[in-house]
Structure 1
Amino acid sequence: MHALWGIAPTVCAFVAFILSILCLFAGSQKNLIEGADILTLNTSMLGRMQEFDTSVEVAISNIASDGIRDFYSVHVMAYCEGYFEPSAAISLQNPIPKRNVTGCSNRTALFNFHPSEALSRDLKPGANLSDLNWPNAIDDDFKVLDVTNKTMAVLYIIGTAATGVAVLAGGWLIFSGGRLEAIAEVVFTIIGFIALGISSAIATVVAFKFVDLVNRHGKDIGVSATRGSQFLGMTWAAVALLSIGTIASVIMVISGGSSPPPPPPPEEPVKEQETEG
């Protein structure tokens, strides 16, 4: 039981480190955990929800060069874009269309996503989104998200790095049993827990509140957003593991179980008694 408590913090930190790495780098390149997005902007019905469907269809075909992308999935340090598979593949058992990702943006910690800029690249020269009655409120929403997203990314980097150091300290602790390594593991596990906890809370607020805001502003033009449940599950699992690791490592330090037992005192050589002649 004592050995289990000694290894538990390191195991929890290691699994949390892997999950945080996946959250941090998801979507930074094509086919790299693309489903783990914070939110997805659905533009497949752009303009088609209005009453003048025919004229909008004509407008879309006239101003779009290669076809407007169906979705834009927003991740921590990048975004991906692409098309949905044909609707024939959608059924009651699988109501969510399969994504065909065509590309992702460059990975950067100071990442920001502006949908009007991304959509404008699909338009013919001289055309603009005002032809489709694109609401400026959606652009304003994403501009507000810029600072929040950058703060979240920086906290993810800090949390992931601190968790990685906690894993190294825990690994060294297993072999050395030193109290200094135990304290280092506690400190960096707590830092990782706080940083990933705050960034996960920010991501949750974005996934729920911000998605609702985009849906409200985009409903008249056929633009919607969905939250990324896979990403939220991964990031909160990492936070939960770090909380367990923190508790276990604190208990180890307080109980002194991380220190090796003191070596037995050296035996004193038995003095030969001189016999009196």
Structure 2
Amino acid sequence: MATQRQPSVGLLLPPVLISFVAFVLALIALLAGTGPQQESLEPYHIIAVNLSNFGHDLVASPTKSDPKPSSTSGSSLFDEIADGARGLGQDISDGVNNITDGIADKVIEELGISQWYSLHILTFCEGMFAPNASDPDAWFNLTSCTAPQPARRLNLSDVLDHEIQAGPLHKNLNQLPIPESVQNAIDIVNNALLALLAFYALASGLAGLSFLLSLAVLVLLRNNVNKLIVWTNMAVAGLGAFMFLIASAMISYVNNKGVEEINNAGKDIGISGIKGVRLIKISWATFGLMSFVSLYWGLATLKYTQRWVSIGDGFRRREKVLA
């Protein structure tokens, strides 16, 4: 009887590595906003509320006007003087606008509030944009995060009221009203937090279990791989992929719907939403990785099924000959 060939190390290594990467990405999504890596993982928020323009209407800003183009060919001395005057006027206007923007940025600081507030699965964080909010390459400079708490919700009105009253201007939200519709928009994310936590906790656990099972096959069971082992790995990876699919779809929905509603509700008072693009990307990437692991073990199951079918056919042909 010929000895059954067992899978090589090279063939069993991909599910180990891929499930490990999926597990790490899942932990990033689940634990962002917690622990010692809060600042480095801050961009992996579900959604952020941008308040860098909040309160800017307290400072009147001059209207910017576009300079009219002028032709230099065949122009008279009067035209050149007029063009120079227009250019000088525009320079003065730009300078005043820059000063006004600086004053408006100072308003946020004087109000005692942060320029952004972000929602994670377990916490919400706040901070300032660095080097400043108007910089196109600005990054999230973290100030603080709340303690991890599954049921924690971001109530923007309460947070701002507390911070503004504690600030040097000693104002309150009666003087700087925030429409209820802004909080209603934020609640789109708040209402999804517990469900996201449940799905991500399950998905992370399944990704970790898939890694351990794949590692066990590679290290301990390589010479004893059977159909039950392969089916177990496929089921765990497949269920993990399904959980990531639901979680990724939820994150994509609350990002699109939440940001749209926040922008519509807060456009008149300088409040806008920021999508958690990085979280969306790693969430769908994790779904893809776990799907690959499940497909890998599914193909292995097919291989064993075909082998056992061929063995069964052999027995039937043998019985037919003997008959």
Q: Given the two structures, how large is their TM-score scaled by the length of structure 2?
A: 0.69
CA distance in 2, matches of 1:63, 1:102: 16
Write the deviation string for residues 24-76 of structure 1: whole angstroms up to 9, x where unpaired.
1111243241111121111111132478679xx7xx68993xx1110012112
How far, CA to CA, are the matches of 2:138 and 2:180 in structure 1? 28
The count of residues paired between Structure 1 and Structure 2 equals 249
Find the aligned partners of 2:294 and 2:287 in 1 and give their Cα distance. Answer: 10
CA contact 1:68–1:123 (8 Å) conserved in 2: yes
CA RMSD for the aligned pairs? 2.8
Q: How does 1:102-181 map to 2 (within 5 A)?
A: 102-124=143-165, 127-174=171-218, 175-177=220-222, 178-179=225-226, 180-181=228-229
The answer for unaligned runs of 5 or more in structure 2 is 1-6, 62-99, 308-323
Pair 1:236 & 2:297 matched: no
> Which blocks of at least 5 consecutive residues in structure 1 are unaligned?
260-277
Residue identity in the other structure for 1:15: V
**Does the C-alpha gap of structure 1 residues 97 and 198 become closer, same or farther in structure 2, counting only changes over 3 Å?**
same
Q: Is the Cα contact below 8 Å between 2:234 and 2:297 reproduced in 1?
A: yes
- Cα contact 1:113–1:142 (8 A) shared by 2: yes
Per the alignment, do residues 218 and 88 of structure 1 end up closer, same or farther by CA in structure 2, a change over 3 Å counting? closer
Please state whether the residue corresponding to 1:226 is helix, strand or coil: strand
1:134 and 1:12, CA in 2 relative to 1: closer, same or farther beyond 3 A?
same
Quick one: distance in 2 between partners of 1:144 and 1:208? 10
Does residue 23 (structure 1) correspond to residue 67 (structure 2)? The answer is no
Structure-2 change in CA distance of 1:31 and 1:204 (3 Å) = same
| Mean CA deviation greater in 204-213 or 117-126 | 117-126
- Match of 1:45, SS state, is coil
1:45 aligns with 2:86: no
- Identity rate of aligned residues, in percent? 24
CA distance in 1, matches of 2:52, 2:241: 38
3-state DSSP class of the match of 2:164?
coil
- Alpha-carbon shift at residue 85 of structure 1 (Å): 2.5
Aligned partner of 2:251: which letter? A
Between the aligned partners of 1:230 and 1:80, the Cα distance in structure 2 is 16
- Amino acid aligned to 2:132: S
State whether structure 2 residue 29 is matched by structure 1 residue 33.
no
Question: For 1:71 and 1:150, how far apart are their aligned partners in 2?
Answer: 22
CA distance in structure 2 between the partners assigned to 1:136 and 1:157 by the alignment: 32
SS where residue 198 of structure 1 aligns?
helix
Give the TM-score normalised by the residue count of structure 1: 0.80
